[in-house]
C-alpha cells in the first residue's frame, strides 16, 4: 500500500476535504451535537462546541500522518459542512481497512453518503492500494447497511453481541468489498 493521507476528493455534489478548526461550529451544529446522528455511534453527542474543537484539533494534528484518512463533507453548491467519512482499523498484512461515516439528519435520504463513499472507496483502491474495505453497522440501523450495499459491499454476516454503541451492546452487521469486485463493477 502507498498511504497518501486525506487528499481532497470531488464528486458531483460534494467536496471531500480536510477539516480545519473553523469547521467546529458547523460540525457541532449540523451533526456532532445531534443525538439522532450519534444514536448508533460509539461516541456521544457533543455537549458543547468546545468538545468539537478538541476533536477537530486532534484530527488536524493527525493529518501529518500519511495513514490518516478523515474527510469533511462539504456541499459544493452552498459550502455547507454536512458530515464526515473516515477510514481506520488498518490491517497492513491483508491491505484492509474499515470505513465509517456520519451526516446531519437534514441531509439523510438524498444519496449524499453513498456519493461520498464511492469517491473514498475509489481512492482507497485505485490510489492507495487497499485490497479490502469493510464497514459495520448496528443491527438496529439498517439504513447504514443500505449505504454499504450502494457502495457495492456484500453482506458478510451478523456477529451477535459483538459491539458497543450508544445503544449498549449490539449485534454487528458486517459488509465488505474487495478490490477485484470493485473493478468488476466498473
Structure confidence by residue, pLDDT tens digits, 48-99: 999 999 999 999 999 999 999 999 999 999 999 999 999 999 999 999 999 9
Question: Would you list the domain boundaries of the chain?
Answer: 9-185
- Of 3.40.630.30, 3.40.50.2300, 3.30.70.360, 3.90.1300.10, the CATH number of 9-185 is 3.40.630.30
Q: Give CA–CA dist 77/80, Å, rounded.
A: 8
Q: Give CA–CA dist 117/99, Å, rounded.
A: 8
Nearest in space to 155 (alpha carbons), one of 169, 167, 172:
172
Identify the band that residue 186 occupies on the pLDDT scale cut at 50, 70 and 90: confident
Residue 185: per-residue pLDDT:
87
What's the whole-model pTM score?
Answer: 0.95
Q: What is the per-residue pLDDT across 15-50, written as a single tens digit (0 to 9) for each?
A: 999 999 999 999 999 999 999 999 999 999 999 999
Is residue 120 within 8 A of residue 87, CB to CB? The reply is: yes
Amino acid at each position: 500500500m502507498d498511504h497518501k493521507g486525506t487528499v481532497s476528493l470531488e464528486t458531483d455534489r460534494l467536496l471531500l476535504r480536510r477539516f480545519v478548526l473553523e469547521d467546529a461550529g458547523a460540525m457541532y451544529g449540523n451533526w456532532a451535537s445531534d443525538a439522532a446522528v450519534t444514536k448508533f455511534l460509539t461516541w456521544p453527542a457533543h455537549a458543547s462546541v468546545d468538545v468539537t474543537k478538541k476533536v477537530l484539533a486532534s484530527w488536524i494534528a493527525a493529518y501529518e500522518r500519511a495513514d490518516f484518512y478523515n474527510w469533511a463533507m462539504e456541499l459544493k453548491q452552498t459550502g455547507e459542512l454536512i458530515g464526515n467519512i473516515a477510514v481506520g482499523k488498518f490491517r497492513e498484512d491483508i491491505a484492509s481497512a474499515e470505513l465509517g461515516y456520519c451526516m446531519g439528519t437534514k441531509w439523510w435520504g438524498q444519496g449524499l453518503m453513498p456519493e461520498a463513499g464511492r469517491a473514498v472507496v475509489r481512492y482507497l483502491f485505485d490510489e492507495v492500494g487497499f485490497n479490502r474495505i469493510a464497514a459495520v453497522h448496528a443491527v438496529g440501523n439498517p439504513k447504514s447497511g443500505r449505504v454499504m450495499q450502494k457502495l457495492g459491499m456484500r453482506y458478510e454476516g451478523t456477529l451477535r453481541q459483538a459491539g458497543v454503541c450508544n445503544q449498549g451492546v449490539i449485534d454487528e452487521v458486517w459488509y465488505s468489498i474487495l478490490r477485484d469486485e470493485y473493478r468488476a463493477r466498473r
